[in-house]
């Protein structure tokens, strides 16, 4: 069921969005060559405790997960792009790492993601990250009253294709509110002018993610981490955005 939120409820969502943004900012600053993924998960966990927030991931067990996630942060490195399970791995020079983080604060959820390169960057990785960021920015721009869901999806897909990338439709954005994943689904490609009419009160997590040379995924042996089928690298950008009468309000802006 699609939920619509009052202006008062959207105001109540702001602290959760600011908190999620602050955790991602801290993770981006902490990520460096030699830092362990488990240390980064511990940083996010400590920030959750300090804020009196709740993790959306630690007990998360959807049908595609082998078991409850057990961590508070997704860390997807290099050819991993989604649902990366933190493990005993120290970041190496040139690693591309995507952080995806969602938490509940005062009963409201926000969800956001970013990708960074640690150490010496490969220009191809920076270009891939840039495509996800531009796709997200373009999608937010068309998230306006009277437009349709297909306009968001088509906008994301157009940015990807212009960059020579293909788009996977298995995983995408979603509604956000009291829970992390709600209706509607937000595909990363589609047809303009189709689908749900966008109305004030709708809150979405929009999340373009792309792989360098494929749109096919494979499941890692850890039962959670999704990797590119051909070993190429992936990047991911995401914000939680509320639609108001005046247009989109990015709750997780950093």
Cβ neighbours of residue 45 under 8 Å, at least 6 residues apart? 55, 72, 73
Question: 111: annotated binding-site residue?
Answer: yes
Residue that is written with structure tokens 């509940």 in the block: 104
Burial class (CB in 10 A: 0-12, 13-18, 19+), 22: middle
Q: Which residue(s) pair with 116 in the sheet?
A: 97
Question: 207: annotated binding-site residue?
Answer: yes
CA separation for the pair 252, 244 (Å, rounded): 15
- Across 193-237, the runs of DSSP E, i.e. the strands, are 203-206, 209-211, 217-219, 226-228, 234-236
Q: Which residue(s) pair with 112 in the sheet?
A: 101
Question: 87: annotated binding-site residue?
Answer: no
CA separation for the pair 24, 100 (Å, rounded): 8
DSSP one-letter string for 174-193? EE-SSSSSEEEEE-SS--TT
Question: 174: annotated binding-site residue?
Answer: yes
Question: 245: annotated binding-site residue?
Answer: no
Q: Which residues of 56-91 are buried (b: 16+ CB within 10 A; e: fewer)?
A: bbeebeeeeeeeebebbbbbbbbbbbbbbbbbeeeb
Sign of the alpha-carbon torsion through 178, 188, 112, 45? positive
Extract the annotated binding site for substrate: 83, 181
Extract the annotated binding site: 83, 100, 111, 174, 181, 207, 238
Extract the annotated binding site for a divalent metal cation: 100, 111, 174, 207, 238
């Amino acid at each position: 069921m699609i939920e619509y939120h009052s202006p008062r409820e959207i105001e109540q969502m702001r602290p959760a969005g600011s908190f999620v943004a602050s955790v991602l900012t801290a993770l981006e600053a902490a990520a460096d060559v030699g830092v362990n993924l488990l240390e980064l998960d511990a940083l996010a966990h400590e920030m959750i405790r300090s804020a009196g927030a709740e993790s959306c991931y630690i007990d998360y067990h959807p049908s595609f997960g082998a078991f409850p996630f057990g961590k508070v942060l997704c860390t997807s490195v290099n050819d991993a792009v989604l649902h990366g399970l933190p493990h005993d791995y120290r970041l190496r020079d040139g690693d591309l790492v995507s952080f995806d983080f969602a938490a509940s604060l005062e009963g409201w959820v926000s969800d956001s993601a970013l990708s960074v390169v640690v150490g010496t960057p490969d220009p191809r990785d920076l270009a891939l990250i840039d495509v996800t960021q531009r796709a997200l920015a373009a999608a937010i721009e068309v998230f306006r009253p009277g437009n349709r869901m297909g306009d968001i999806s088509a906008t994301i897909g157009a940015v990807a294709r212009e960059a020579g990338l293909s788009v996977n439709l298995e995983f995408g954005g979603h509604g956000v509110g009291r829970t992390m994943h709600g209706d509607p689904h937000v595909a990363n490609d589609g047809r303009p002018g189709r689908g749900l009419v966008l109305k004030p009160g709708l809150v979405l997590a929009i999340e373009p993610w792309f792989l360098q040379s494929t749109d096919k995924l494979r499941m890692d042996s850890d039962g959670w981490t999704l990797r590119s089928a051909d070993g190429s690298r992936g990047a991911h950008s995401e914000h939680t955005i509320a639609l108001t009468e005046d247009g989109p309000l990015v709750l997780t802006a950093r």
